[in-house]
Amino acid sequence: MIEWLVKFDHNNISPLDNRYSSKINDIKKVFSEYSLIKTRFIIEINWLLYLCDKKPKYFNKISNATRKKIIKFRDNFDDKSVIKIKKIEQSTNHDVKAVEYFIRDFFKKDKTLSKYVHLIHFGLTSEDVNSLSYAIMLKDGLNIYTKDIVNINKILTKSSKKWKSLPLLSRTHGQAASPTTVGKEFKVFSNRIDREIVKLRNIYPLAKFSGAVGNYHAFDIAVDNINWPEFNSKFIKTFNVNQNRLTTQIEPHDWIAEMLQIITRLNNICIDLSQDMWIYISNEIFKLKLNINEVGSSTMPHKVNPIDFENAEGNFGLSNSLNDFFINKLTISRLQRDLSDSTVLRNLGLSFGYSKLGLSSLTKGLSKVTPNKELIYQELDNNWEVLTEAVQTVMRYEGIDNAYEQLKDLSRGQKLNKKNYVDFVNNLQISTESKKKLIDLTPAKYIGLAKTL
């Protein structure tokens, strides 16, 4: 924390780069400018090595000594390398070309390496390098996100099991309704998240590596007896990315949209959970654990606020807003390409950053809550009218055709207590067995199959 404060820059415009910086370190490492430049650099180096290793008949054969020299150069990439590349970019006004020139300048200083300068960026368009770079970064970002959402689900599953038998008054339209259990309500969210995680794990990153407008022109004109689509596809798979073989100059980004749509649904599930927890806390169904060092209000010292759930809701909303724009923008491009996707792609990390903040706050919030059992049972005991569903259903089963209307006259807009309820049941013309079943019933016991579910 102290280290972060030392690096704190009051001029940063985004809270992701100052206030929340320490909470998204893994996301920053994946989506930073440094990471983008380094990924491009690695792709350029690995492509050159791949050409020489796999097709020495057509490209310069590479010795072990030369290979080690190139790999050492690749693996020693650091902040100084980025600074040099950014300096070149000031002149070229082209980010990928700056990486190419950086490698070229290094190779030219070495008598052996200078023989391979012509193979740097061979056959590629900058979009090939960028497409693969973003696919790699999004793959890594997705792995981080998946771990975080799985962790949330573990917490929900644990809570669901812990409180599976704890009854809870339901609320439909904000009004008292048939009881449930705390565990079952947590299980609903866990189950929703589970389904989306399955879909998330079926997302396969795609990239293109097929030259200008996607037709392998440069590759084919240079060497026409190599199966370039297959050859390039195998190269991309070394990064655990699949090739989209049929593209324009850009990969259409449909897979990115699909991934972000799943994340948006997960964000929405988490917003739904955050809002429900906020309401439960507001109604004192859940209590918040106290932290003596926290301040709930600058003027009201008694307050213990559900800020973690509020922060989660806000950050999930920011992520969703960004996702909505990305989904609608990135899948549209004029003709073979326009450059408007380039500046947009640079912001993908923001969505992951805000979503991670939301998950972090939600995790923290869930760790602070505990059911207020005394109030839960008190609320159930104050709402005997919720048993009217049970009574009218048993009456129907026993053949009474106006059961609903009788219960409506008794209970709609009115409060029932145990005495009213028992008196009504005792006066029913139903079997002794059914009557006993209803007399033994209480709001706390009327939970259906919630415990089993």
Q: Which sequence positions are flagged as catalytic?
A: 173, 297
Whole-angstrom Cα distance, residue 261 to residue 324?
A: 8
Q: Do strands 286-288 and 242-243 pair parallel, antiparallel, or not at all (unpaired)?
A: unpaired
Whole-angstrom Cα distance, residue 77 to residue 42?
A: 9
| Structural Rg of the chain based on CA atoms | 31
Nearest to 255 by CA among 379, 138, 385: 138
Whole-angstrom Cα distance, residue 244 to residue 248?
A: 10
3-state helix, strand, coil in the chain (%, to 5): 65, 5, 30
Please report, in angstroms and rounded to a whole number, the separation of the first and last CA atoms in the chain: 43
Alpha-helical segments (H) within 55-125: 64-75, 79-92, 95-108
- Check residue 453 and report its DSSP letter: -
Q: Say if CB 243 and CB 233 are below 8 A apart.
A: yes
User: DSSP of 159-196, one letter per residue?
Assistant: HHHHTTT-EEEEEETTEEEEEEEHHHHHHHHHHHHHHH
Helix or strand run (H / E) with residue 287: strand 286-288
Q: Return contacts of 223-232, CB within 8 angstroms, 24+ apart.
A: 223/55, 223/58, 226/55, 226/58, 231/54, 231/55
